Amino acid sequence: MIRHPSPNFGPRRNGLRPDLVVIHFTEMRSAQAALDRLCDPAAEVSAHYLIGRDGQLWQLVDEPLRAWHAGAGAWQGRVDVNSRSIGIELDNDGQTPFSAPLMARLEALLSGILARWSIPPSGVIAHSDMAPARKIDPGPRFDWQRLARQGLALWPATTGDPDVPLKTSLDAIGYPDVAAALRLSAFRLRFRPGHTGPEDATDRARAEAVAACVLAEKW
């Protein structure tokens, strides 16, 4: 790991500590271009970590501090996601698969973060999850199931009840209260990538199964 401090950080507010990890893609031409932007005081953006396509890892902000990566949004009814999360930027253009070295490095990094801060798999979320009106990263090419197989993210192992209203399940999972179409799109980016069209029974069944996983973690 290379330490490359960014000036774009501050203290976590109101005594908050990390209970989320937010996954992003850089959507830039190279890791170096992303590194330059994340460390530019004029850009006023940062993340705790950046992982290159070749697996190189940079730490830009220390984990106990507040990086500026999430922006406006909410998760599980709480705002100021920056103060309660660790942000990881992935060197990817948003159109191509995430490289094997990048994913291997991400898995090792996540394993340590979740252990250090006692964050459950449900606390690993997409930028699009907490900001569905603004963001789509890490996008439909990101392999959430791969992370879930190692206990590093959430993916339902069974099918849920399609008769449970989608809103009920998305509320329980943690999606912010935005327009129904935006919530559905964000959910599909994560759990039904590539699917379009009106809400259907598969959406409701999968969302209810995810909500059940979140509830089971709380107990």
Q: What is the DSSP string of the chain?
A: -EE---S-EEPPGGG----EEEEEE--SS-HHHHHHHHT-TTT----SEEE-TTS-EEE-S-TTSEES-S-S--BTTB--GGGGEEEEEE---SSSPPPHHHHHHHHHHHHHHHHHHT--GGGEEEHHHH-TTT--TT-TTS-HHHHHHTTSS---SS---TTS-HHHHHHHHT--S--HHHHHHHHHHHHSTT--SS--HHHHHHHHHHHHHHHHHH-
- Domain containing 33 equals 2-149
Verify whether residue 199 is a known catalytic residue: no
CATH number at residue 98: 3.40.80.10
Pick from 123, 149, 175: which residue ends a domain? Answer: 149
157 within domain boundaries: no
pLDDT score for 219: 59
How many structural domains are present in the chain?
2
154 within domain boundaries: no
Same domain, residue pair 129 and 171: no
Same domain, residue pair 87 and 139: yes
132 within domain boundaries: yes
Same domain, residue pair 145 and 180: no
Same domain, residue pair 120 and 185: no
Catalytic residue among 27, 63, 89, 199: 89
23 within domain boundaries: yes
Task: Extract the tokens encoding 117.
Answer: 């801060």
pTM listed for this prediction: 0.97
Same domain, residue pair 33 and 103: yes
Same domain, residue pair 144 and 186: no
Same domain, residue pair 104 and 184: no
Same domain, residue pair 99 and 192: no
Same domain, residue pair 174 and 113: no
Same domain, residue pair 143 and 173: no
| pLDDT tens, per residue, the chain with 219 residues | 999 999 999 999 999 999 999 999 999 999 999 999 999 999 999 999 999 999 999 999 999 999 999 999 999 999 999 999 999 999 999 889 999 999 999 999 999 999 999 999 999 999 999 999 999 999 999 999 999 999 999 999 888 999 999 999 999 999 999 999 999 999 999 999 999 999 999 999 999 999 999 998 875
Same domain, residue pair 50 and 111: yes
